[in-house]
Structure 1
Amino acid sequence: MARIAVIGAGMGALACAARLAVAGHRVAVYERTETYGGAVRRFERAGFGFDTGPGLLTLPAVWRDLFVKTGKEPLESRVELVQVDPSARHVFGDSTEVSLPNASRAGVVSALDESLGSGTGQRWGDFLVRAREAWDRTRRPLLEEPLWPDWRVLAEREPYPAVPHKRLLRTRRAGTLAEVAAWELRDPRLAALLEGHALAYGLDPRLAPASAAVLPYMEHAFGTWYVRGGMRELARAVYERCLARRVEFVFGAEVVRVLEKDGGAAGVELAGGEVVEADFVVAPGTLAARGEGEPAPQGGLPSRLTVLLALRGGRPPGTAHRTVVHTRDREGELESLFGTAPGVPERPTVTVLRPDDPALVPDGDHEAVTLSAVVPAGAEIREEHVEALLSMTERAVPGLRDRVLWREVRTPADVAAETGAAGGAVPAPALAGAGGRLLHPGNSTGLRGLFTAGGWSHPGGGLPHAGMSGALVAGLIVEGPEFRGSQ
C-alpha cells in the first residue's frame, strides 16, 4: 500500500483518487479552497441555483466507468442523467434558426434541410461521416491511452480525411476547421454551427486543426446530457464515492512545493510549512515538472464570462435547454478574441442555458438562466460587456430584461480563484495535428513518482477528458509505465 498525495480536488483529481483508493492505496487530497469540484461549482441565492462551470455533459460513459470500477454500481444510482433534446437551438446572424435533435443523424439532416434549405442537411451529414473517421483514428491515443512517447506522430498527421475539391485536379486537404467549413459545408450558417463548437472550447477555428471536427461529432454520436439538480451533483457524487473509499480530504491546504528525494517525488509542503511524506504525488498539469521533449503546456487560452439570471415568470413549455446565439460578425469576434490585442468582443456568440429543473428555482413562477461567452483570460469585465450578452440573448429570448429579478456576474477572475488557472484560462481537449500545439503534456513527468491529472495534462480539458486523465494516472501508478490504457 502506497501513500499518495493528490494536489487539488478538481474532477480529474477526484477520479484518480477514487480509483487509487479502490486499488488499496492510502490517498489524501490537499485542496487550497474550501470545497471540491474545481470548475464544477454552484451559485445559490434566494432559492435559485446555477452551475458556474460546465452546464452539460458529453461522453457520460467516462463517469459511468468510474462508478462501476470503484463500487460496482451504476452512476445512475447516484445521480439522474437526462438526455437533452433538442441538443441545441441555434440562432444565426441572419436570424434564421434551427433546433437539432439529440444523437440522431437523420433527425439533424431533416431539421437542417427544413430550416436552412435543401442540401444543407446532406452536407452536414457527410461532414459527420468524415468527422467519425477522425474520431476513430484518434479516440484511443488522444483519450484512452497515456500520451505516446512518439507523440510527434500525432502532431504531424492530420486524421481528418482529405476531400477532393471539384475545381482542382488534385485532392485538396483541409488543414483547419475554417477550411472544412468553407470548402465542404459552403454555407455561413453551417460554418457558424461547426466553428461554434471550437469557439466554445476557446479555440480559433481559423487555426484549429481540421481534426477539431471530433468536437461536434462527440455531441452527435454520444448525445448531450444534463444532471438533474445541476452538474454540481456529479461532483458531489464523485466526492462522496471518494469518501466511501476512505480518501482523506484536507481543505484550505495550499501546496507550495513538491518534495524530492533520491531523484523522485517524496511528498508535498503546505503553505503553513507542514511537510507531508508520500510515495507518489498527483498534481495539476500546471504545477508539475515536465519531461524532456514533451509538448509544452498550452498558454494564452481564453476564459469565460458568465451571467446568472434570476427571472420572474416560469420557463415556457417547449423551451430548448441550450440555445446558441451566433454573432453577426464572426470575423470581428475572432479578431477580438485571438488578434494581436485580445479583448472582449462587442457582440459575442452567447450560449444560453435554460434547464427544466425544479431544483434550481424557488417555484414554478420563476426561471434560472445562465448566459456565457468566451473572453480572453485575465480580461477585465465592464458593465458594457454584460449588457452585450443581454442584448445578444434578447434575439432568442424576447422581453428578457423585463423579467430579470437580479443577476450575478462571474468573470475570469472568479474562474481563476476557483481553479487556480492563471487568468481563469480554460483548457481544451487534446487535438491531433497543428504541429502538436493542442496536445497536452503527458501524465508522467520528468520526476519519478510525480504524475499529473486534470484539464491541463493529457488528454486535456472538458469533463470527459478530465475524468480520463484521472483513470490514466491511476493506471500508471497501479500497473506501472507498461500501462497502455483501457482495453
Structure 2
Amino acid sequence: MARIAVIGAGMASMATAARLAVGGHQVVVHERSDTYGGGVGLLARDGFRFDTGPGVLLLPAVQRDLFVKTGKKALEDLVGLEQVDPAARHLLPGGVDVTLPNASRSGVVEALDAAFGKGSGDRWSQVMVRAREVWEATRRPLLEDVLHDPATLARDPYPAAARRGLFRRGGPPGLAGVAAGELGGGGLGTLLESWALAYGLDPRRAPASATVLPYVEQTFGVWYVRGGMRALADALYERCLERRVEFRFGTAVTGLLLDGGKAAGLELSGGDSTPADVVVAGAPLPALYRDGVLPPDAGGSGPGGEPGRCTVHLALRGARPAGTAHRTVVHAADRGAEAAWVFGPERRPLPGTGALTVTVLRPDDPAVRPDGHEAVTLTATVPCHDPNGTGRGLDWSAGGAAEAFAARMTEAAEAAVPGLRGRELWREVRTPADTARQTAAPGGSVPAPALAGASGTLLRPPNRPSLPGLYLVGGWAHPGGGLPHAGMSGAIVADLIAGGPGGSR
C-alpha cells in the first residue's frame, strides 16, 4: 500500500486521511500548528467554550457518510447532533423582525408574509423552486464528482423567471437581479443577498446560482453539535487515530519533493524532508503557487484577496433568556456602503455601525458556559488581512483596529442582545490576522463554496492538478469552502487515489 503524506490537519485533510487509512494506506499528516481541525477551532477560558469557526452545521449527511465508511460507530454515536429551530432570526432596516423556522417551507412562507406583506412568501418560494433546479443541475458535477467540465459550470444554471414585453429573453440576472426583479427588492431582497455576504461573496456580483445557498439551508435544515462544533473535529481526529493515521504536529511544510516530474514527498522546515508515494495538500501551500504547480489565481484560490471573518467572543453574566434564537442576523442599514467596504479595492477605513451586518450566535448549551452565564459569538464578513497595503484588504494588526471594529460589532449586536455591553465579563477578538497566523490561510481569507456561473471565477482548482502524485482537498480546492465541501473533497480524493473515478457518493 502507498505511503501518503497529507499537508495540514484540517477537516478535509482528516476526512481524506481516515478514508485512505481504511484502504490500508500508511498515512502521515503534517500540521504546522500544535492541534487539528483547521478553521474548526476552540477558545476555552474560565469555563466558557467558543467555536472559532462555523457555529452551525449544514448537510450532516456528508459527515454521516464519512463516519459510516471509516468505522463502526456512527456520527450520532460520537456527537450530540440536533436541529436548530428556529433556523435564524433576522433584524432588518426599518424595524422588520422576522424569524424563519428550520426546514419548513410553509413556515417560511407564513413568516415572510407576516413580515413583508401577503404574497412575499410566495415570491420567495418561487425563487427557491428555481434554486432547486440549480441544486439538481449542479449537485453532482459541482459537489460530488471531480471537476470534469469547468466550461459547463461557468454558465449560470439559474432559470430566469419569465418576463413580459418585447425583451422577454435573457440569461440569469445575477443574485442582485433576482433580489430586485423577482423579490421586489426591499427587505426581502436584503434577506436573499445576506446569504452571499455570509459566505464571503459580493452580493452585487454573485451569480443567480447563489440562490442555492438559502435553498440548501431551508431544505435540509440547520444543525448544531452539542458542546460546540469543535466536538465534530474531536470525533474525526479520534477516528483517524483509530485507523492508525499518524499526526506530526509542529511540522511546517515548505515545499514538495519532486522525482521524475512527480510529487515524491515533502520538504519540511529546517531542511528536513520526508518521502511519499502520494501527497495530499489540504492547505494553501505558497510553494504550489510560487513554483507554478498551480496558477497564481486559479479560481480565486491564489494567496489572499478573499474576505475573512472577524469574531468577537463574549462571556456574559446572566443566563440566556428562554426562547432566544440560536442565530440572529442584524442586517446593515447601508448595504451599499458595507459591500464597498468589504469588497472594494481601495484602502478601507473602518465602517460605521450602519454599514455592518453582524451574526449573533447564542447556543442553548450548558456545555459551553458556566451556570448562570451565557456564551455569545459575534461574526462579521470583513476584508482580508493586508499588512503591506496592497489594496486587497485591511491591516488588521494596525494599532487599535481590532478593538475599534469589535466595539462597533458589539454596538450593532445590542439590537439582538439588549443590554449586551452591561453584561460583559470579558471578550476576545479574532480578526483575519489571527486566522492567517493560526491556520496559514492567505490573508486570513475564508474560502467560499464553489458556485456555477460567473464565467467560472467561483470554481476552485481540480482535486487532481497537472503534477502527478499530488492531490488537493479543502476549501482552496474543488468544491470550495465549508464543512460539507470539506467532507466531499476528502471523499473525491480518497476515491481517486484508490483508483476510482473520484466521487463522494
Structure 2 length-normalised TM: 0.93
Which deviations, in whole Å up to 9, do the C-alpha atoms of 1:451-478 show, x marking residues without a partner? 1111000000000001111111111101
Equivalent residue in structure 2 for 1:368, among 368, 375, 380:
375
Instruction: Provide structure 2 residue ranges, at least 5 long, that are not aligned to the other structure.
Output: 386-393
Provide the rounded CA distance (Å) in 2 between the counterparts of 1:229 and 1:383.
28
Which of 431-440 and 413-422 deviates more? Answer: 413-422
User: How big is the shift at 1:71?
Assistant: 1.0
- Counterpart in the other structure of 2:21: 21
1:393 lines up with 2:413 in the alignment: yes
1:431 lines up with 2:448 in the alignment: no
- Counterpart in the other structure of 1:443: 463
Provide the rounded CA distance (Å) in 2 between the counterparts of 1:293 and 1:187.
33
- Counterpart in the other structure of 2:357: 349
Q: Is the 8 A contact 1:346 1:385 kept in 2?
A: no
CA separation of 1:315/1:147 partners in 2, compared to 1, >3 Å: closer, same or farther? same
Which deviations, in whole Å up to 9, do the C-alpha atoms of 1:407-431 show, x marking residues without a partner? 1111111111222111100000001
- Counterpart in the other structure of 1:209: 207
Which of 86-95 and 333-342 deviates more? Answer: 333-342
Find the residue that maps to 1:49 and give its secondary structure.
Answer: strand
- Counterpart in the other structure of 1:410: 430
Q: Is the 8 A contact 1:294 1:442 kept in 2?
A: no
Q: Is the 8 A contact 2:284 2:442 kept in 1?
A: no
CA separation of 1:256/1:120 partners in 2, compared to 1, >3 Å: closer, same or farther? same
- Counterpart in the other structure of 1:324: 329
- Counterpart in the other structure of 1:135: 135
User: How big is the shift at 1:115?
Assistant: 2.1
- Counterpart in the other structure of 2:150: 151
Which of 337-346 and 178-187 deviates more? Answer: 337-346
Find the residue that maps to 2:137 and give its secondary structure.
Answer: helix
User: How big is the shift at 1:196?
Assistant: 0.6
Letter in 1 for 2:351: P
Letter in 2 for 1:372: T
User: How big is the shift at 1:382?
Assistant: 3.6
1:257 lines up with 2:266 in the alignment: no
User: How big is the shift at 1:54?
Assistant: 0.6
Q: Is the 8 A contact 2:283 2:441 kept in 1?
A: no
1:461 lines up with 2:481 in the alignment: yes
Provide the rounded CA distance (Å) in 1 between the counterparts of 2:48 and 2:214.
31
Q: Is the 8 A contact 1:86 1:101 kept in 2?
A: yes
CA separation of 1:92/1:306 partners in 2, compared to 1, >3 Å: closer, same or farther? same
1:185 lines up with 2:192 in the alignment: no
Q: Is the 8 A contact 1:87 1:102 kept in 2?
A: yes
Equivalent residue in structure 2 for 1:248, among 227, 246, 249:
246
User: How big is the shift at 1:12?
Assistant: 0.4
Which deviations, in whole Å up to 9, do the C-alpha atoms of 1:349-396 show, x marking residues without a partner? 000000000001111x10000001011000323432111101111112
Letter in 1 for 2:31: E
- Counterpart in the other structure of 2:224: 226
CA separation of 1:307/1:296 partners in 2, compared to 1, >3 Å: closer, same or farther? closer
Equivalent residue in structure 2 for 1:308, among 300, 313, 317:
313
User: How big is the shift at 1:60?
Assistant: 0.6
What is the alpha-carbon root mean square deviation over aligned residues?
Answer: 1.6
- Counterpart in the other structure of 1:165: 163
Q: Is the 8 A contact 1:12 1:470 kept in 2?
A: yes
User: How big is the shift at 1:441?
Assistant: 0.2
Which deviations, in whole Å up to 9, do the C-alpha atoms of 1:268-306 show, x marking residues without a partner? 121122221110000136324238997462551001110
- Counterpart in the other structure of 1:279: 277
Structure 1 length-normalised TM: 0.96
Q: Is the 8 A contact 2:29 2:248 kept in 1?
A: yes
Provide the rounded CA distance (Å) in 2 between the counterparts of 1:271 and 1:44.
30
Letter in 1 for 2:359: T
CA separation of 1:233/1:292 partners in 2, compared to 1, >3 Å: closer, same or farther? closer
- Counterpart in the other structure of 1:194: 192
Which of 132-141 and 394-403 deviates more? Answer: 394-403
Q: Is the 8 A contact 2:160 2:173 kept in 1?
A: no
Which deviations, in whole Å up to 9, do the C-alpha atoms of 1:171-192 show, x marking residues without a partner? 3443311111000001411111
